[in-house]
Structure 1
Amino acid sequence: MRAALFSRDPLCVECRRQGRAVPATQRDHVIPLAEGGLDDESNEQGLCEACHDAKSTLEAQRGRRRTSGGR
């Protein structure tokens, strides 16, 4: 799945939104699996490592808020 994604779309989608052309190195779930996202082509995007790390940090923070009751 990873190779097919990078073949279709080799650039980081977040960097591209910001006008930069940076190769994607991480297969990312747009909607995280932990939040009900599917593990298929309709829910994947390529991100560079920096964008993936930033997105993962935000997702982890959301997860902690969910498990602590929003506190």
Structure 2
Amino acid sequence: MAGWGSKSKGPRSRGAPARIRAVVLNRDGGQCQVRGPRCEVVAVEVDHIVPVFEGGTDDLCNLQAVCGQCHRRKTRQESTRARARRRAPVWQRPHPGIL
């Protein structure tokens, strides 16, 4: 399920190919699109706006230029949501013999 074509080695190997990275950085003017606390302003990385685990795609419209600081912060927040989602109980229909 890894993106970016056949050279990906798994879900954690999602780095954008250089040509896609260059297109996104150029489109966003080399500026961080997140602008969180301690933002470095100059974007050097590419990030999914909607994370893949939440249904986001590798389409250019779902990619944004980000600085390293904002990317790490956003990734931590997404990881927290992903862990909570995995731990959340899954509703199951009660067994018909147990009412």
**How much identity, in percent, do the aligned residues show?**
37
Structure 2: runs of 5 or more not aligned: 1-19, 90-99
Equivalent residue number for residue 47 of structure 1? 66
Question: What TM-score do the two structures reach when normalised by structure 2?
Answer: 0.62
Specify which structure has the bigger relative contact order, considering alpha-carbon pairs within 8 angstroms and separated by 6 or more residues. Answer: 1
Identify which of 2, 8, 13 aligns with 2:33: 13
Task: Name the CA shift for 1:25/1:35 in 2 (closer, same or farther; >3 Å).
Answer: same
RMSD: 1.9
Question: What TM-score do the two structures reach when normalised by structure 1?
Answer: 0.85
Q: Is residue 22 from structure 1 mapped to residue 32 from structure 2 by the alignment?
A: no
Q: Aligned to 2:65, what secondary structure does the other structure show?
A: strand
Q: Aligned to 2:34, what secondary structure does the other structure show?
A: helix
Runs of 4+ in 1 over 4 A off after TM superposition: none
Q: Is the 8 A contact 1:30 1:44 kept in 2?
A: yes
2: CA distance, partners of 1:64 / 1:22:
29
Structure 1: runs of 5 or more not aligned: none
User: How many equivalent residue pairs?
Assistant: 68
Rg: which structure is higher?
2
Q: Is residue 61 from structure 1 mapped to residue 61 from structure 2 by the alignment?
A: no
